[in-house]
Structure 1
Amino acid sequence: MTTALRRLRNYIDGEFRDAADGRTTEVVNPATGEPYATAPLSGAPDVDAAMAAAEAAFPAWRDLIPAERQKVLLKIADRFEERAEELIAAESENCGKPIALVRSEEIPPMVDQIRFFAGAARMLEGRSAGEYMDGFTSIIRREPVGVCAQVAPWNYPMMMAVWKFAPALAAGNAVVIKPSDTTPASTVLIAEIIGGVLDELGHSRGVFNVICGDRETGRLMVEHKVPAMASITGSVRAGMQVAESASKDLKRVHLELGGKAPVVVFEDTDIAKAVEDIATAGYFNAGQDCTAATRVLVQESIHDEFVAALAKAASETKTGAIDDEDVLYGPLNNANQLAQVKGFIERLPAHAKIEAGGEQVGEKGYFFAPTVVSGLKQDDEIVQNEVFGPVITVQSFADEKQAVEWANGVEYALASSVWTKDHARAMRMSKALDFGCVWINTHIPLVAEMPHGGFKKSGYGKDLSAYGFDDYTRIKHVMTSLDG
């Protein structure tokens, strides 16, 4: 007897719809490796319909006074709280994430972030008006850019959807968002919540649309003539493709791509505390985080002690079922990702040593053991490239100069951390590290008020904060004559 698969649908102009040609893809629960739902595999007609709905809804949404858009976002935040258990269930099934951690680590910050951008809606600041030429006054208008095509990733599908739609809607834009083809369930539920709020408060539901599909669907969205801006969180390859596609008609592009965060540990560090925090920041969400603490550089005088402690912490870290409150993380998101992580381990050079883990866990699903690899060199593949799994690498450095050189010696530049009791050293390192974020004696905390975004191949543009809000606006200069 075959269990019927749940049917997910696109959300376009306030209606749930199948793909125009009826095509679907299966959605797999990574904890079991079995499909549990189908989702539309959207094509050009579906993208056209969503863009037309957003384009039609945009003028009225743009022209609302900011306080009215704030009301909508605050109501959305309230609904997220009221329907938290539904969101948790959708995200846990879709991603294999532990229920308790989604409840404690994702729902509260998401709600807070929506409320932050609700407030930002009323802070459309520009430089002061003034006379910069005799007889004329200049003023600055900050306006929404228009329709935004947004592509969210599979590692945090709910939270990354919030990071995209909340600033865009707050600034007065209309949205068409595509979740990853492996994780559409929670975004479809978000569409139901937002659509209900828009309808309740008397606004067009076409302001927010969800299109399910694959890379081709995303390409069609980015290349469509309607959007004024394309925003993606994803791989470097995907970001480059989006930038290239968007360049054809000079769309704005907002890219949050991969990371290879250095974790620089100096000899004066409290080793026990550092290991505890780094293990958590490296293995949380199965290491599927572009800021994860997975590339550790340890001063040579404490290297052996640190590696032994980290291997012990890895052996005590648990992965498993979504309803087990003792687990730190669940499975990798999909079969391809599991194969990628395995490949990095299989291709390790002879001088590398697996101190803990290194293998798949369980007979079903995509679980991988907490892993520590030591003995690595700066040019090793696993040091240079993003694994995106529960694998922490360790290198030994001699001095501060070498630590900076190796920390910066990758193509990514999203996040980093420094572990030391020496304040002056921490300040020198925070200046020298070429990353969009530098944590000191911690790794991975984020707040809505501070920006998140990187340099180099980690992309450009900021999420969260007033900077992230500004990315969804454009600046207009208005000049008026004073002589009547």
Structure 2
Amino acid sequence: MTSIDLVDPATGETFGTAPACRESEVDAAVQRAATAFTTWRRSTPMRRQAALLAIADAIEAGAHELADLECRETGKDRAVVLDEEIPQSADVFRFFAGAARTMPGAATGEYLDGHTSSLRREPIGVIAQITPWNYPLMMAVWKIAPAVAAGNTVVVKPADTTPSSTVLLGALASRHLPEGVVNVVTGDRDTGRLLVTHPIPAMVSITGSTRAGIEVARAAADTVKRTHLELGGNAPALVFDDADVAEAADGIIAAAFYNAGQDCTAASRVLLQDRVHDEFVAALTVRAEAARTGPLNSAAQLERVTGLVDRLPGHAVVHCGGKRLGERGFFMAPTVISGLRQYDEIVQEEVFAPVVTVQRFTTEQDGVTSANGVPQGLASSVWTADATRAARVAVELDFGCVWVNTHGPLVPEMPHGGFGRSGYGKDLSTIGLEDYTRVKHVMTRSA
């Protein structure tokens, strides 16, 4: 079996390898999942709940080992992983443990004389799942927990640069589940294609770039697999002239630079109303210059981001950053760029780095039009002291999530997913659980 080098993004040094699974390994994992599905699909919600609660406890017990693996491959701050990502991962399993026992459905009834109808909400089957490199552990949790809670079995392929925390999660989960319910295969795009095109999986769920989602949708179409696509974002933060400048600047910078900006909901596009524009740009710049962020995922990602900055049009103004930081590792200096126009490349593309672009707007409608004027539609925020305006603008923004006077918080009880080229399907919430089920109508002649 061939292998893939694992590189520490904080140093740029290779520290290990991971297997690049090929046809035989992928097929074996899928076959294990298919065998397990024949019995796991019949398991009671109570049994599934007990298993998911045990996995949540195992995540907390293994927190330090999970954090070590996560940080080595992502360059994240260990304290942040331990204080935020591990507890959130355990919480997601606990949420779906409860949700497994409250599956919604229509009441049985007679809708045709002499016939009784009922609905069955059933698991789909083997689910192929592909996760990204920005939150390897959390995204694997978001995929595995609802799918298993609904009675499915899974084969998960983590990103080739960040596989280790997912492998450990799979091992922890398998201690509390029947053999074959959760399977992990590691590898590159070829591994992913083998998984997506395998005839057995009935559904493919991916969190990743728009490009990757399009490839998955095309490949899945040949076997009419259901697809669940949570793809790239390009979130606007729409700031009106009555917003609290200091509070909004603090919130936006935190949301823009968290995880080095490698977040599909990052507040990467800041749209400022005329009267507050100059003051706000100055506030963003001061905060960006003081910010300390982690490394980007890879040399390729750093090259892509610096290329976007190098190709800036002449009307753009770089207030800080705009270049690689240091010679060791893959660090990008926190960056603020103003003077941008709607169809500039760096506005239309998801940057996925600690880079904030700034556009100016005059009227409310101008701001909404600019916010909506990108292909992606995952998340957005509105910053204003006017509650009526906030409610009005939230209706007009074409994004799966709209935050008001905040940007970034997510909770298991609420769905996460977008519109347009940000894909379709929802993670988290009971809606996310339903996405991993199919509905069957059963009609019985009663007379």
Q: Provide the TM-score with structure 1 as the length reference.
A: 0.92
Q: How does 1:231-380 map to 2 (within 5 A)?
A: 231-319=205-293, 330-380=294-344
Q: Secondary structure at the match of 1:197?
A: coil
Give the C-alpha shift of residue 269 in structure 1: 0.3
The CA distance in 2 between the partners of 1:164 and 1:389, in whole Å, is 24
In 2, Cα distance between equivalents of 1:268 and 1:426: 12
Cα shift at 1:178:
0.1
CA drift at 1:60? 0.8
- How far apart are the structure 2 equivalents of 1:192 and 1:466? 26
Give 1:241 deviation, angstroms. 0.7
**Matching residue's letter, 1:251:** K
Partner residue in 1 for 2:350: 386
CA drift at 1:317: 0.6
Q: Secondary structure at the match of 1:367?
A: coil
Tell me the CA shift for residue 284 of structure 1. Answer: 0.4
Instruction: Provide the residue aligned with 1:326 in structure 2.
Output: none
1:111 is matched with which residue?
Answer: 90
1:358 is displaced (CA, Å) by 1.2
Mapped to 1, the partners of 2:167 and 2:14 lie a distance apart of: 17
| Counterpart Cα distance in 2 of 1:80 and 1:47 | 26
Identity of aligned residues (%): 58
2:180 partner SS = helix
* Secondary structure in 1 matching 2:256: helix
Post-superposition CA distance 1:368-405 (Å, at most 9, x none): 11110011111110011111100000111001010011
Structure 1 outlier segments of 4+, above 2 Å: none
> Partner letter of residue 418 of structure 1?
V
Residue identity in the other structure for 1:262:
P
Q: What is residue 102 of structure 1 aligned with on the other side?
A: 81
Q: 1:460 aligns to what?
A: 424
SS in 1 for 2:6: strand
Q: Which residue of 1 aligns with 2:382?
A: 418
Q: Which amino acid aligns with 2:278?
A: D
Q: CA deviation at 1:197?
A: 2.0
Aligned: 1:162 with 2:141: yes
1:140-159 equivalent positions in 2, closer than 5 A: 140-159=119-138
User: Which position in structure 2 is the counterpart of 1:187?
Assistant: 166
Counterpart Cα distance in 2 of 1:318 and 1:290: 20
Instruction: Report the counterpart of residue 23 of structure 2 in structure 1.
Output: 44
Measure, in 2, the Cα distance between the counterparts of 1:241 and 1:458. 14
TM-superposed CA distance for 1:47, in Å, is 0.9
The answer to whether structure 1 residue 438 and structure 2 residue 402 are counterparts is yes
The equivalent residue for 2:43 is 64
Matched with 1:473 is: 437
After superposition, the C-alpha distances for 1:149-169 in whole angstroms (9 at most, x for unaligned) are 000000000000000000000
- Residue 363 of structure 1, CA deviation: 2.3
Correspondences of 1:388-403 after superposition (within 5 Å): 388-403=352-367
- The alignment's TM-score, normalised by the length of structure 2, stands at 0.99
Cα RMSD over matched residues? 0.7
Matches within 5 A, 1:25-40: 25-40=4-19
Distance in 2 between residues matched to 1:276 and 1:236, nearest whole Å: 29
1:84 pairs with 2:63: yes
Structure 2 residue runs without a partner (length 5+)? none
- Give the Cα separation in 2 of the matches to 1:77 and 1:378: 44
Q: Tell me by how many angstroms 1:29 deviates.
A: 0.8
Letter paired with 2:242? D
1:223 to 191, 197, 200: 197
- Structure 1 unmatched ranges of 5 or more: 1-21, 320-329
Once the two structures are superposed, residues 403-437 of structure 1 have per-residue CA deviations (whole angstroms, 9 ceiling, x without a partner) of: 01100000000000000010110011000000000
Could you give the per-residue CA deviations for residues 269-323 of structure 1, whole angstroms, max 9, x where no partner exists?
000000011000000001001110010000011100000010000011113xxxx
Find the counterpart in structure 2 of residue 19 from structure 1: none
Give the partner amino acid of 2:297.
Answer: N
User: Deviation string for 1:156-212 (max 9, x for gaps)?
Assistant: 0000000000000000000000000000010111112112222xxxx2x21110000
Query: Aligned to 1:28, what secondary structure does the other structure show?
Result: strand
CA distance in 2, matches of 1:392, 1:78: 38
